Amino acid sequence: MKIAIGSDHAGFHYKEAIRHYLTDLGHEVIDKGTYAETPSVDYPRFIRPVAEAVAAGEVERGVVLGGSGNGEAMMANRIKGVRAGLCWNEESARLCRMHNDANVISIGERMMTEETALKLVKIWLDTPFEGGRHLARIQELDE
């Protein structure tokens, strides 16, 4: 799978860990930055390119990170065709895929351990969308 990833300075360490993890799993990862923990940066500068790549079909999925993940999810969801889910535990990662067909996952580095973040990404990647009654509504919203 081709996956774009991006973070601000507060999500940089987990971005790097997730980027390596995804590469080790055999995915092609497109890193949209930031490329260092310092200096502090504004998250839209790095999150928007991830969301735009997903919406344009350049990548199949996107991973965005920040301190809490809230602003990153909000920024990604401003792009038509993006369905970003803010995930904080295993169930939120599973349900954002299963019920919402989330094509972007948002994670807050300050909210969880690195081990948890990697686990959430794995669950999000492995969980299929169940379709059915949710599909028509999602397609309607994407139009």
Question: Whole-prediction pTM value?
Answer: 0.92
pLDDT in tens, 13-53: 999 999 999 999 999 999 999 999 999 999 999 999 999 99
Check pLDDT > 90 for residue 3.
Answer: yes
pLDDT for the residue 131: 78
Domain residue spans in the chain?
Answer: 2-142
pLDDT band at 129, cuts 50/70/90? very high
Instruction: Give the position of tokens 């991973």.
Output: 63
pLDDT for the residue 80: 97
| Mean pLDDT for the stretch of residues 127-131 | 91
| Mean pLDDT for the stretch of residues 120-124 | 98
What's domain 2-142's architecture? 3-Layer(aba) Sandwich (3.40)
pLDDT for the residue 78: 98
- The residue annotated as part of the active site, out of 9, 52, 72, 109, is 72
pLDDT in tens, 63-85: 999 999 999 999 999 999 999 99
pLDDT for the residue 61: 98
What six digits make up the tokens of 40? Answer: 């502090």
For residue 97, count CB atoms less than 10 angstroms from its CB and return exposed for 0-12, middle for 13-18, buried for 19 or more. Answer: buried
Q: What are phi and psi of 63, to 5 degrees?
A: -125, 125
99 is catalytic: yes
Check pLDDT > 90 for residue 7.
Answer: yes
72 is catalytic: yes
- The residue annotated as part of the active site, out of 60, 99, 114, 134, is 99
Supply the mean pLDDT for the chain.
Answer: 94
CB 62 within 8 A of CB 54: yes
Residues in the chain: 143
